[in-house]
A and B are shown apart, each in its own frame.
Chain A
Amino acid sequence: MTCGEAQEFITAVVDGELPEPERGLLETHLHDCADCRTALAAEQVLKQAIHGTGALLRAPDALRARILSDPRIFLAQRRSARRWRDYLWPMPPALRPALAVALLLAVALPAYYFIDYRREPVAVAALESYDLFFQGKLPVSRSASADEIAALLTRAVGGRFHPMGYDFTAMDLRPVAGLVREIQGRKILVAIYQGPHGAIFCYTFLGSEKDAPPNAAKFLDSEKKVNFYAFSRGGVNAVFHREGEVVCILASEMPMEKLLTLTRSKASAS
C-alpha cells in the first residue's frame, strides 16, 4: 500500500467507515510508516474539531429526518434485493438545491474556518499558546529553574528530544513555566521566560526546515551556516531555525530585528 492510498483509508477509518479487509491493510501500513501515523493523528484532531463545531451549527433535525425517510433516496438501504439498482435511483432535482442551500447556510463558515486551520503550518499554529498562556487558559508547570522545566518537558516526550536550554538572564528574562502541546499530532515543548519588560517563548519540536512557514522571510547566517525564518502571528513575532533533528522557535512581542539578532546569537553553528 502506498502512502497516497493510505490517506484515503485514514480519512475513512477516522470516520468509522473502513470495513475489513481494508482496515487490516491500513493497520499493517501504519505499523511501518511514521508519516501516516502522524497523518492519522492529525486527521483525528481535525475531525474532532469539525464535529465539535458541527454540533453547534447543523442542519435542522426535521430536514435531516425528511431526507433520511425519503424512499426515493434511501430505498437501497431498506431493500437488500436489487440494491444496486435502488442505489442508482436519481434524486429528484428539486431536492438537491434545497439540501445544498440548507447545509451551506448552516455550516459553510465553520467548515472554511477548519479548512484554514488544517492548512496552517505547525510552526504558526504553535504560537497560539502565546496568547492562551497570558489569558490563563493553558495548564502549565511553573518553576523558576530552567533545569527543572527542561527535565519535565523531556519526560513528557519520553526522552525522545530535549527543549532548547537558553539563558536569557542578560535580558532580565527568567524561566517561569513549561508546557507541552500537541498540534496536528506532534508534541511541542514550550519553555516560557518572563521579565519586567516582556516575555520569550521557546518552542522545540521534532522536525525539519520543511516545517518553516512558506511565507516566512528567510535569512542565511553564512558564518554559522544556519537558515533563520522570520514570521508573525497576531502581534507575536517568531524566528524559526533547525538544530539537528529538532526545530526551535523563539517567539516574543519584541521587534523582529531584535528577536532575529537574539536567535542568531543563541543558535549553534551547523
Chain B
Amino acid sequence: MIPEAFRTPLLLVDMGDFSYEEAAAIISCPVGTVRSRLSRG
C-alpha cells in the first residue's frame, strides 16, 4: 500500500485529470511537492 502522502497526488493527477497546480491547491502543498511525490509514488 502506498502511503497516503504519495497516493493522493497520484489519484488526483493520473486518475482525476487534475493538473499539478490544481492537485497542489487541493492538498495544500507546493507544486514541487506534488511533482516529487508523483515521481516517487
Seen from chain A, the residues whose Cβ lies within 8 Å of a Cβ on chain B are: 7-8, 10-12, 15, 17, 47, 50-51, 54, 57-59, 64, 67-68, 73-74, 76-77, 87-88, 90-91, 99-100, 103-104, 106-108, 110-111, 115
Residues of A within 8 A of B2 (CB): 115
Task: Determine whether the beta carbon of B35 is less than 8 Å from that of A99.
Answer: no
What are some 17 contacts across the A-B interface (CB < 8 A)? Answer: A7-B39, A8-B36, A15-B38, A17-B20, A47-B14, A50-B14, A50-B15, A51-B14, A54-B16, A57-B15, A58-B16, A64-B16, A73-B25, A76-B25, A77-B21, A103-B16, A111-B10
Bound Cα distance from A200 to B20, whole angstroms: 47
Give 1 or 0 for each of B1-15: 1 = CB within 8 Å of chain A CB.
010000110111111
Residues of B within 8 A of A108 (CB): 11
Residues of B within 8 A of A110 (CB): 15
Bound Cα distance from A21 to B39, whole angstroms: 19
Task: Determine whether the beta carbon of A11 is less than 8 Å from that of B16.
Answer: no
Set A17, A54, A73, A103: member contacting B35, Cβ < 8 A: A17
Task: Determine whether the beta carbon of B11 is less than 8 Å from that of A107.
Answer: yes
Bound Cα distance from A47 to B17, whole angstroms: 12
Bound Cα distance from A8 to B24, whole angstroms: 16
Bound Cα distance from A103 to B22, whole angstroms: 15
Residues of A within 8 A of B38 (CB): 11-12, 15
Task: Determine whether the beta carbon of B28 is less than 8 Å from that of A90.
Answer: yes
Residues of B within 8 A of A100 (CB): 8
Residues of A within 8 A of B22 (CB): 68, 74, 77
Q: Closest 3 A-B residue pairs measured CB to CB?
A: A11-B39, A107-B15, A8-B39
Task: Determine whether the beta carbon of A111 is less than 8 Å from that of B26.
Answer: no
Task: Determine whether the beta carbon of A15 is less than 8 Å from that of B20.
Answer: yes
Residues of B within 8 A of A87 (CB): 24-25
Q: How far is the CB of B10 from chain A (nearest CB, A)?
A: 7
Residues of B within 8 A of A10 (CB): 39
Task: Determine whether the beta carbon of A106 is less than 8 Å from that of B15.
Answer: yes
Residues of B within 8 A of A58 (CB): 15-17
Q: How far is the CB of B34 from chain A (nearest CB, A)?
A: 9
Bound Cα distance from A77 to B18, whole angstroms: 13
Bound Cα distance from A67 to B18, whole angstroms: 10
Task: Determine whether the beta carbon of B14 is less than 8 Å from that of A88.
Answer: no
Bound Cα distance from A100 to B24, whole angstroms: 14
Bound Cα distance from A47 to B7, whole angstroms: 15
Decide: A111 near B25, CB < 8 A? Known: A8-B35, A100-B8: no
Q: How far is the CB of B28 from chain A (nearest CB, A)?
A: 6
Bound Cα distance from A200 to B26, whole angstroms: 52
Residues of B within 8 A of A73 (CB): 25-26
Task: Determine whether the beta carbon of A54 is less than 8 Å from that of B28.
Answer: no
Residues of B within 8 A of A54 (CB): 14-17
